[in-house]
Amino acid sequence: MKKIKGGVCAAKGFKANGIHCGIRKNKDKRDLALIMSDTDCAVASVYTQNKVKGAPIAVTKRNIADGKARAIVCNSGNANTCNFDGEQKAQAMCESVSKHTGIPASDVVVASTGVIGQPLDVTPIENGMQQLVDGLSTSGSTNAALAIMTTDTVVKEYAYSFVLDGKECHIGGIAKGSGMIHPNMATMLCFVTTDVNITSAMLDKALHKVVVDTFNMISVDGDTSTNDMLTVMSSCLAGNALIDDKGKNFNVFCKVLKKMLETLSRAIAKDGEGATKLIECKVAGAKSAKIARAIAKSVITSSLTKAALFAADANWGRILCAIGYTDADFDIDKIDVDLISKAGKIAVCRNGVGVEFDEDTAHTILLEDEITIFIDCHEGRAKATGWGCDLTYEYVKINAEYRT
């Protein structure tokens, strides 16, 4: 794999754009994005597991039931959730795309993000759609990425090239997510495009295979959003032999997709609301991947652990506590814990009990902006990684004032 430029426009056949149409009061912030393919695409999506779901999710599920799509439209500034006319408004967004592009409304993925429970006025969307469509370009990924952001502080946009059957293939993605992020799909909005020749059924299998070890392994605050959606579209224009079953090429594609989603997952966790540090929890030596994932999730979600790391305090007891209340079968008396950063590595726990360590050295290690908590269960060969962030004063301030 090679890192390249282009984001969601890196793959053959895709254009994108993002504009300010008037949903958000700040005219300097883009609030409407469109990603469009020149051809029909294979498509797959995963969604939030919250029982309260944004209206766009219901419309998108219907639209991609046939495994086909041509465009993704997304607004920020309003989640279109818990509104009596939500599905009607989401459908109107799809019809607006259809009106100005000729793409059937039933081939449009629709998403929204922002404040919950406020009626969505689609007038600005309809009025701005022609401008949005006119500005579509193969260099429009960044504008689209900016248009889906809410409390994000950095653009989350990546792309890679790779080879299948001697053909150069591409994959790119944009994502938004900074708060209301917790494991169990998809914990944000993410749109990925590729030109790999693959059926929608196998694209769906690949997505479900890799999401458990990527987006389902991040947490910022323990709150699972209502509008989470991860959609992957493929134009199938790369020229490789069609992937219609499991095998070598399918495995290569899964590896590439995992790399893309892992990159975006890390970016979301690092940009958590008010965050100053990325926290990576690596679990090794577990009896099963399920147990390893559960331990990692428990640690990255622990508010006490997150607060301690904000202060660069090596309070390893909080980590062990979070491991201990994990709902999984393992022997706590075999657990080892190390704290790692580019400043060094230090052991703080062996066989479930503390070991002597230099507090100043530990503090120096934890002052870095990327911290790894390494946990060895010494019971097997399974492993997992989770990503989170520290808990800061700024997180409370951002969410205390989010609506007002």
**pLDDT tens-digit profile of 362-377?**
999 999 999 999 999 9
pLDDT tier at 184 (50, 70, 90 boundaries)? very low
The yes-or-no verdict on residue 57 having pLDDT over 70 is yes
Express each pLDDT in 59-109 by its tens digit: 999 999 999 999 999 999 999 988 899 999 999 999 999 999 999 999 999
Section 201-221 average pLDDT: 91
Cα radius of gyration (the chain): 21
Please identify, among 270, 303, 322, the residue that sits at the C-terminal boundary of a domain: 270
**Tell me, what CATH number does 367's domain have?**
3.10.20.340
Average pLDDT, the chain: 93
Statement to judge: residues 86 and 134 lie in one domain: yes
Cis amide leading into 294 (omega within 30): no
Section 258-271 average pLDDT: 92
Candidate from 116-130, 179-193, 277-291 with smallest mean pLDDT? 179-193
Q: Which residue has the higher pLDDT, 127 or 178?
A: 127
Statement to judge: residues 331 and 372 lie in one domain: yes
CB 41 within 8 A of CB 233: yes
Statement to judge: residues 222 and 354 lie in one domain: no
CB 357 within 8 A of CB 348: yes
pLDDT tier at 264 (50, 70, 90 boundaries)? very high
pLDDT tier at 45 (50, 70, 90 boundaries)? very high
Statement to judge: residues 140 and 36 lie in one domain: yes
Express each pLDDT in 343-360 by its tens digit: 999 999 999 999 999 999
Q: How far apart are CA 89 and CA 122, in angstroms?
A: 7
Sheet holding 382-389, edge to edge: 353-354, 344-350, 336-341, 370-376, 278-286, 382-389
The yes-or-no verdict on residue 46 having pLDDT over 80 is yes
- Which range marks the domain in which residue 334 is found? 278-400
Statement to judge: residues 305 and 394 lie in one domain: yes
Statement to judge: residues 314 and 384 lie in one domain: yes
- pLDDT, residue 224, reads 57
Burial of 100 (0-12, 13-18, 19+ CB in 10 A): middle
- pLDDT, residue 182, reads 53
Please identify, among 231, 250, 270, the residue that sits at the C-terminal boundary of a domain: 270
Q: How far apart are CA 144 and CA 204, in angstroms?
A: 24
Statement to judge: residues 215 and 296 lie in one domain: no
Statement to judge: residues 260 and 182 lie in one domain: yes
The yes-or-no verdict on residue 361 having pLDDT over 90 is yes
pLDDT tier at 271 (50, 70, 90 boundaries)? confident
* Positions marked catalytic: 187
Statement to judge: residues 17 and 51 lie in one domain: yes
DSSP, collapsed to helix, strand or coil, labels residue 134 as helix
Section 296-313 average pLDDT: 95
- pLDDT, residue 122, reads 97
The yes-or-no verdict on residue 123 having pLDDT over 90 is yes
**Tell me, what CATH number does 229's domain have?**
3.60.70.12
Statement to judge: residues 294 and 266 lie in one domain: no
CB atoms within 10 A of CB 230: 26
- Measuring CA to CA, how many Å separate 219 from each of 134, 385, 388? 37, 12, 5
Section 375-397 average pLDDT: 93
Statement to judge: residues 259 and 284 lie in one domain: no
Percentage with pLDDT > 90 across the chain: 82
pLDDT tier at 200 (50, 70, 90 boundaries)? very high
Section 253-269 average pLDDT: 94
- pLDDT, residue 186, reads 35
> How many structural domains is the chain composed of?
2
Section 241-268 average pLDDT: 96
Please identify, among 249, 270, 291, the residue that sits at the C-terminal boundary of a domain: 270
End-to-end CA distance of the chain: 44
- pLDDT, residue 187, reads 40
Statement to judge: residues 297 and 390 lie in one domain: yes
The yes-or-no verdict on residue 180 having pLDDT over 60 is no
